[in-house]
Structure 1
Amino acid sequence: MEHYNCAHCDTSLAGKRYVLRLDQPTCLPCYDSKFADACEACAKPIGTDFKDLSYKGRHWHEQCFNCWNCKASLANQQFVGKDEGLYCPDCYDNLFAQRCDKCNKTFKHGQQKFEYNGKRFHSPCFLCFFCQKPIGNNNFVPRDDDALCCMICYNEKFARKCGKCHDVLNHGGVTFKDEAFHRECFLCTKCNTELAHIKFATKNDIPYCPDCYVKQFSKVCMKCERPIAGLGTAMKYVGFEDKQWHADCFSCTVCNKNLVTQGFLIANGDIACPDCARTM
């Protein structure tokens, strides 16, 4: 041991503390002056007699490892790095954390945050404007002035409702006379046939399917007893007093001669050409 010397200053290390660095014995003064890291706070070497606290390649004495704002010790405590500075959680939140656009309080680490239209809210601050209940992760509808409306309030106050069943119209529907209906609720007044995908007719603002409309309201030919006009079609017909005929059906009862644009007579309730009428 009398020949065991410091590799840098050749001082004998017999009976002395030393540091073995890269397999070379180094006395404490040489280690402190040549190899010890400088403290980020006080710029003094962090010698072997001090605890070295490091973060991202930077070093501090234990007593120098403090919050840059409040100077509280960060040794054995949680901290947050921001740019070149180190901060305790409270100082970091007060200085840098985002704030709720309603209560103006900061968001704590790990605290749930909701964002809408460029604004941020705590969960208890993200409320329906009408019922004042938290919206959370549920659907909502924005109203005027960024007022948010939960779906329950929207359905109660603003959603269009079916004119028949009065339930909310969630997916399309049929509009008739400024009133909305579910497709399955928009029915023929007479037979309840669904009208959403077919042509329909109205009478006094009441909807009917084609068959019911014809049966209810079309004129009936006195000869064939069929409707004179179907829905969406036009037929020539002849009317006399309270009776009607298809143009093709307006013929002499005896000789079957068509009498459209011809003279005719009524004999025993039937129509006839003048020649046949004399024989009846």
Structure 2
Amino acid sequence: MKKNCTSCKCPREAHDVCHEEWVSVRSRLGLKGDESNGPIGVDPRERGLAWAPPGLPSHKVEEYFSMLPEIAVPRLGTPGERHRDRQLVIQLPKQDLARAYCRHLDPKHASSADDFMAARNEIALDIGSVQEVPERDLECGVCESSLKYGSLAVSASKLFLLYHPTCFRCTDCKELLVDLAYCVHDDMLFCERHYAEQLKPRCAACDELIFSGEYTKAMNKDWHSGHFCCWQCDESLTGQRYVLRDEHPYCIKCYESVFANGCEECNKIIGIDSKDLSYKDKHWHEACFLCNRCRVSLVDKQFGSKVDKIYCGNCYDSQFASRCDGCGEIFRAGTKKMEYKTRQWHEKCFCCVVCKNPIGTKSFIPREQEIYCAGCYEDKFATRCVKCNKIITSGGVTYKNEPWHRDCFTCSNCNNSLAGQRFTSRDDKPYCADCFGELFAKRCTACSKPITGIGGTRFISFEDRHWHNDCFICAGCKTSLVGRGFITDADDIICPECAKMKLM
């Protein structure tokens, strides 16, 4: 009864099936005459083709097929041959062409079928031919663009028109017309299947045309009375309740046995007349959706689950609920949690320990057992400059174990930056070398410049007077007196030799 495979349920035309009786379209259509490939009657199979347009020499046959997509070229043993076989079944269903193949035609409607087939064969059905375009300025019967003079075109004698080979298609299914077989309706081209469906309904089950006045319409399709059947068991659904699944109808019994879910509580099928309540791939009858402990109905109520069992809010809380690290209260079923590592809070309790503002989805910083928002953490723990008290974000300077901004670490006298420079300190204040020398250093008795001692400079002291090492020289002969004996002469110092000379 069905047009589908009884094993895999897929359409008959989806299988790679081929019968010798289908090979010749003329014989399939019941047309008489020769379908040889040329004047000498060459068999297309001798050229490696399942079919070729008749009447063409070999090089023209190849030219014609070069104008078509590869899938439409029926070379033996290729996808093109299998595509042709399927299109023969689809476009030229045998039950449309001869009453002998109509298995479900009521005898009282046989004359209607004969009349339909005879009228179609006489008025609409024909096979196109391939020929060279005989004139210039001719247009394609479909796209209306020009046909190249001398090129190959398909002729449809029923319409007295020529077509590009790739335009010779069914108006309905848009497929190339297999072996050039076509029907004409309202001056348009159709494959035989879709021509027939312009005039007669077709049964979606057996794929035969319906010639009776009474038939079933369901799922936007037509069916012989009695052919609208369950996809699983083939029982008639006419006048019966059915369920649609994946575009196929099922009787109630088959649908429930194949697709209905089992109840977790009572282990019975949840039929189509029962409400199916589901949670985490588990299903319940509405009446079976109960708390596992107190047996109260959970329909439209908050509930929790634990170890594949469901519980009302109170029972879940009393047995399993964890507690908030902020307020110590339990988390009620359905309450939103904020979690961090092994700790958890109510959303309103997950707040900064300083400002008490909820953290929510904002960034935060944990410290020991407390949570801080970024602003409060900076205020409390970030490194601050000892001079300006502002936070040091990068590039600070440490002096006497205290942090400074580089720009804040300056000479206490001239305010020039000391970062990377020589400096010293006085009374815990930093000074650059120049300011320290000017303000606090001893001065050389000889040159009057400061003796800073920075960088390892050595100096000489005598009776509250001080000299740079280089300035500690004899006032007479100018030789260095460092490490030598010397004699004072008023404000001068002289070497012993110059002193003798002065006494003589």
TM-score by length of 2: 0.40
Amino acid corresponding to residue 456 of structure 2 in structure 1: T
The corresponding residue for 1:252 is 474
Rounded Cα–Cα distance in structure 1 between residues aligned with 2:268 and 2:359: 55
The corresponding residue for 1:182 is 405
Answer yes or no: is 1:119 the counterpart of 2:343.
Answer: yes
- The structural deviation recorded for 1:209 is 1.6
Of the two, which has the highest radius of gyration?
2
Amino acid corresponding to residue 191 of structure 1 in structure 2: C
- The structural deviation recorded for 1:192 is 1.3
Rounded Cα–Cα distance in structure 1 between residues aligned with 2:269 and 2:274: 11
Rounded Cα–Cα distance in structure 2 between residues aligned with 1:154 and 1:46: 57
The corresponding residue for 2:265 is 41
The corresponding residue for 1:53 is 276
Structure 2, unaligned runs of 5 or more: 1-228, 241-251
Answer yes or no: is 1:204 the counterpart of 2:427.
Answer: yes
Structure having the larger proportion of residues in helix: 2
Task: Give the alignment of 1:229-240 within 5 angstroms.
Answer: 229-235=452-458, 237-240=459-462
Rounded Cα–Cα distance in structure 2 between residues aligned with 1:181 and 1:131: 28
SS at match of 2:235: strand
The corresponding residue for 1:22 is 232
- The structural deviation recorded for 1:246 is 2.7
Rounded Cα–Cα distance in structure 1 between residues aligned with 2:395 and 2:355: 27
The corresponding residue for 1:142 is 367
Rounded Cα–Cα distance in structure 1 between residues aligned with 2:425 and 2:475: 36
**Per-residue CA distance 1:67-121 (angstroms, 9 max, x = gap):** 54544264x8898776544567x4796466654333423266583x433452101
- The structural deviation recorded for 1:124 is 1.4
Rounded Cα–Cα distance in structure 1 between residues aligned with 2:283 and 2:443: 105
Answer yes or no: is 1:274 the counterpart of 2:499.
Answer: yes
- The structural deviation recorded for 1:190 is 1.2
Identity of counterpart residues, as a percentage? 36
Rounded Cα–Cα distance in structure 2 between residues aligned with 1:149 and 1:119: 15
- The structural deviation recorded for 1:185 is 1.5
Rounded Cα–Cα distance in structure 2 between residues aligned with 1:265 and 1:58: 112
- Name which of 243, 257, 261 aligns with 2:465: 243
The corresponding residue for 2:217 is none
The corresponding residue for 2:440 is 217
Please provide the CA RMSD for this pair.
Answer: 4.3
Q: Is contact 1:210–1:230 with CA below 8 Å preserved after alignment?
A: no
TM-score by length of 1: 0.66
Q: Is contact 2:303–2:333 with CA below 8 Å preserved after alignment?
A: no
Q: Is contact 1:79–1:86 with CA below 8 Å preserved after alignment?
A: yes
The corresponding residue for 1:7 is none
Q: Is contact 2:322–2:331 with CA below 8 Å preserved after alignment?
A: yes
The corresponding residue for 2:418 is 195
- The structural deviation recorded for 1:127 is 2.9
Rounded Cα–Cα distance in structure 2 between residues aligned with 1:109 and 1:165: 50
Answer yes or no: is 1:100 the counterpart of 2:310.
Answer: no
Q: Is contact 1:52–1:59 with CA below 8 Å preserved after alignment?
A: no
Rounded Cα–Cα distance in structure 1 between residues aligned with 2:469 and 2:266: 114
Amino acid corresponding to residue 346 of structure 2 in structure 1: H
- The structural deviation recorded for 1:231 is 0.8
The corresponding residue for 1:14 is none
- The structural deviation recorded for 1:39 is 4.7
Structure 1, unaligned runs of 5 or more: 1-18
SS at match of 2:439: helix
Q: Is contact 2:447–2:471 with CA below 8 Å preserved after alignment?
A: yes
Rounded Cα–Cα distance in structure 1 between residues aligned with 2:270 and 2:479: 128
- The structural deviation recorded for 1:191 is 1.4
**Per-residue CA distance 1:47-83 (angstroms, 9 max, x = gap):** 67x4373757766555445554544264x88987765
- The structural deviation recorded for 1:157 is 5.3
Q: Is contact 2:287–2:297 with CA below 8 Å preserved after alignment?
A: no
- Name which of 370, 384, 387 aligns with 1:164: 387
Q: How many residues align?
A: 252
- The structural deviation recorded for 1:175 is 4.1
Q: Is contact 1:63–1:73 with CA below 8 Å preserved after alignment?
A: no
SS at match of 1:248: helix
- The structural deviation recorded for 1:223 is 2.5
Rounded Cα–Cα distance in structure 2 between residues aligned with 1:211 and 1:189: 12
Q: Is contact 1:183–1:196 with CA below 8 Å preserved after alignment?
A: yes
Amino acid corresponding to residue 215 of structure 1 in structure 2: E
The corresponding residue for 2:44 is none
